[in-house]
Amino acid sequence: MKRVVSSIVFFASIVLVWYGLVRLGIWSSVLLPSPVSVGEYLYHETIDGVLPGAMWVTFRRLMVGYFIGLALGLPLGFLSAFFRVFQDTVGLIALGFQTLPSVCWIPLALLWFGQTESAMLFVVIMGSLGSVIIATETGVKNLPPIYVRAARTMGSKGIHTLLTVVLPASLPYLVSGMKQGWAFAWRSLMAAEIYVTILTGFGLGQLLHYGRELHAMEQVIGVMLVIVLLGLLVDKVLFSPWERSLHRRWGKAQ
């Protein structure tokens, strides 16, 4: 309760200071719109269905790209943990991908796919793949070998050991890898939506882009707020409870 109160007080004072600055009139309202006009923008666009629509478009792209990234990244991570050959090839590429900012994929994606959904999907997949592979590989490699040995004495082998021991034992690492992959996918998609201005669907990034084109600062700030809130929401609702329950069961303090 105390934590909730301190959060509320903190954010309320930020808005208050913001409002005060606007009232002082030091900067033009084109550069610094008042919190009221940002609130009005958010309210109207929500009622109109523009914001929910953009959120849905963004979310769909994110989900599709992210799950393809996971579907490719998890098995590749396992392979790279188990086989030296994969570690020296796929693992190395993954490490390289991870250091490459995802915006750097956009020129290539545009040339290959043009202004299409595929270009955006491609950027999201490439952006999240590396971190998923690396996290999976780390998780499996840090597995205490005693678990597999114990399972073998009880008659487990091959795919059974993989499914009943290696997978659950590395789950805490996999979840943090998935979380990291999600964060990277989210960043990549925003970059892609700002640069790839297609007409097959207006995402949050595109709203942001057109906010700039139209000099609509309340739109720019409003959409940024929505992006931050969505990111927080996914973390608090999806990943945090999952990680907490894993750590409770494993008995590790986060």
Partner 1 sequence: MTTSLQEELRNLPPQKLEVEGISKTFRTKRNRSVVRALEDVTVRVNEGEYVCLVGRSGCGKTTLLNLIAGLDRPDSGRILVEGTPIKGPGRDRMVMFQETALFPWLDVTGNVLYGLKLKPNLTPKDRREVARFYIEMVGLDEFEHASIHELSGGMQQRVALARALAPNPRILLMDEPFGALDALTREQLYGDIQEIWLKRRKTIVFVTHNVREAVCLGDRVLLFAPNPGHLVGEFKIDLPRPRDINSVELAEYSSTITRALKGYDPKEEVAE
Residues near partner 1 (CB under 8 A): 144, 146-147, 149-156, 160, 164-165, 168-169, 171, 248-251
Smallest distance from partner 1 to CB 236, Å: 24
Contacts of 230 by beta carbon, 8 Å cutoff, 6+ apart? 55, 59, 204
| Choice between 148 and 183, CB closer to partner 1 | 148
| Choice between 5 and 154, CB closer to partner 1 | 154
| Choice between 147 and 239, CB closer to partner 1 | 147
Smallest distance from partner 1 to CB 96, Å: 28
CA distances, 197 to each of 10, 95, 106, 110 (Å):
36, 30, 12, 11
Between CA 132 and CA 130 the distance in angstroms is 5
Burial of 61 (0-12, 13-18, 19+ CB in 10 A): buried
Contacts of 190 by beta carbon, 8 Å cutoff, 6+ apart? 204, 205, 208, 227
Smallest distance from partner 1 to CB 145, Å: 10
Smallest distance from partner 1 to CB 183, Å: 25
| Choice between 119 and 165, CB closer to partner 1 | 165
Smallest distance from partner 1 to CB 86, Å: 21
| Choice between 212 and 249, CB closer to partner 1 | 249
Smallest distance from partner 1 to CB 161, Å: 11
| Choice between 153 and 200, CB closer to partner 1 | 153
| Choice between 25 and 155, CB closer to partner 1 | 155
Contacts of 35 by beta carbon, 8 Å cutoff, 6+ apart? 15, 18, 19, 22
Smallest distance from partner 1 to CB 166, Å: 11
Between CA 208 and CA 227 the distance in angstroms is 10
